[in-house]
Amino acid sequence: MLKLAILPGDGIGVEVTKQALRVLEKVKEVYGVEYSCSEGLIGGKAIDETGSPFPQQTKDLVKQCDAVLLGAVGGPKWEKAGSVRPEKGLLEIRKYLQLYANLRPIKCWKYLIDQSPFKNEKVEGVDLLIVRELTGGAYFGSRGTEIKDNIERAFDTIEYNEKEIRRLVKIAFDLAGQRRKKITSVDKANVLDTSRLWRKIVEEEATGYSEISLNHMYVDNCAMQICSNPAQFDVIVTENMFGDILSDQASVLGASLGMLPSASIGEGPALYEPAHGSAPDIAGQDKANPLATILSVAMMLRISFKLFDAAKAIEKAVDIVLKRGLRTADIWLPRDTCVGTCAMGDAVLREIV
């Protein structure tokens, strides 16, 4: 029996998690996957109920489970200056479970190609994986705010040590070995010392992977190349903040941020979540695209539970639903049928056979 911790979080996190769980329930019926779910608090809702964005009960829950499914956290309600923020809960759970590698696969979905803002011939064949470092860099370095001589000042520090880089880079090389055997390491080594260390460690690790071709790219250039020639990329490996920014940008190659799932792996039980946030602009309106979260469940079945057929069945069901022309608003064109979050969930679970 697999033990899952479910952390819906805030805003559309709650709506998309609900649909993903319905799909999982259907997988259980069809594939006999036995699991139990326990729900926990994270983010803004956790602050409201316990004062902490990652309370002790949730820590205990996730430590004893096999995998975590998370919706999203955050929202305007918790954005007041000086108060604790929901996003801190997300950073804490990643650090607590030592989930240092975040995998964000982006592909051009055949039936969504016209929804992409890019020319069809540019995005055709796009299939890339961003391997983002998740527990280091500016998100976790020394930081602070102070007033000195009447001038307010703030700082965040990008910090990395060789161990943090090496363990992440190894994962990226291993994953590239299972794909098209090409890695682009993205840094800012023309300016930053952390990037120079990054590049050195990547070079050292590359010697153990002679079958994989490696190139280095500066992050500003990479942002441009993701638009101008996205099909060149197989695996992109990069530090935390670069990966955060580049993955939202690259998600558009797959038509929408609402299509981008993610898996965070490392030492503790892996965590699966859509790459998007709580989308306060559409929360509570049955408008959110649940497919990123549904596809995150497929990643969970494949990576944590090695249930490859069940994972494939979900991905195939998503493809069929898209083929049938069902679309949430973020991926809709006038020739398609616009459906809400629940109806999209219904449609996917009908196709799981």
Distance CA 152, CA 155 (A): 11
CB of 68 to ligand IPM, least distance (A): 14
Nearer to ligand IPM, 244 or 336 (CB): 244
Distance CA 132, CA 169 (A): 10
Q: Which residues bind ligand NAD (CB under 6 A)?
A: 12, 16, 72-75, 87, 90, 257-258, 273, 276-282, 288-289, 292, 328, 330
**Which among 308, 306, 320, 327 is positioned nearest to 349, based on CA atoms?**
320
Annotated catalytic residue: which of 10, 188, 234, 287?
Answer: 188
Instruction: Determine the residue with CB nearest ligand IPM.
Output: 87
How many CB atoms are closer than 10 A to CB 125? 10
Tokens standing for residue 201: 């460690």
**234 counts as binding Mn ion under rule CB under 5 A:** no
Among 5, 41, 61, 90, binds ligand IPM (CB under 6 A): 90
Is 60 an annotated catalytic residue?
no
Distance CA 279, CA 309 (A): 32
Is 187 an annotated catalytic residue?
no
Annotated catalytic residue: which of 100, 139, 160, 209?
Answer: 139
Contact map string, positions 277 to 316, toward ligand IPM, x by CB under 6 A: x---------------------------------------
H helices within 112-191, ranges in order? 120-123, 162-177
Tokens standing for residue 107: 């592909």
Is residue 76 within 8 Å of residue 42, measured between CB atoms?
no
Residue written as token pair 């069902």: 326
Beta-carbon contacts of 117 under 8 Å, excluding residues fewer than 6 positions away, are: 252
Total number of residues that touch Mn ion (CB under 5 A): 1
Tokens standing for residue 233: 């990329």
* Contact positions with ligand IPM (CB under 6 A) in 47-76: 74
* Contact positions with Mn ion (CB under 5 A) in 129-168: none
* DSSP per residue, 259-320: G-EEEEESSSSEEEEESS---TTTTTTT-S--HHHHHHHHHHHHHTT--HHHHHHHHHHHHH
Is residue 209 within 8 Å of residue 107, measured between CB atoms?
no
Could you give phi then psi for residue 198, rounded to 5 degrees?
-55, -50
* Contact positions with ligand IPM (CB under 6 A) in 213-272: 244
Is residue 99 within 8 Å of residue 266, measured between CB atoms?
yes
| Partner whose binding site includes residue 278, from ligand NAD, ligand IPM, Mn ion, none (CB under 5 to 8 Å by kind) | ligand NAD
CB of 87 to ligand IPM, least distance (A): 4
Contact map string, positions 241 to 280, toward Mn ion, x by CB under 5 A: ---x------------------------------------
Stretch of residues binding ligand IPM (CB under 6 A), selected from 56-64, 87-95, 223-231, 294-302:
87-95
Is 248 an annotated catalytic residue?
yes
Among 10, 87, 133, 187, binds ligand IPM (CB under 6 A): 87
Is 10 an annotated catalytic residue?
no
| Partner whose binding site includes residue 220, from ligand NAD, ligand IPM, Mn ion, none (CB under 5 to 8 Å by kind) | none
Distance CA 20, CA 37 (A): 13
Applying CB under 5 A, which residues contact Mn ion? 244
Applying CB under 6 A, which residues contact ligand IPM? 74, 87, 90-91, 244, 275, 277
Give the residue numbers annotated as catalytic, written as ranges. Answer: 139, 188, 220, 244, 248
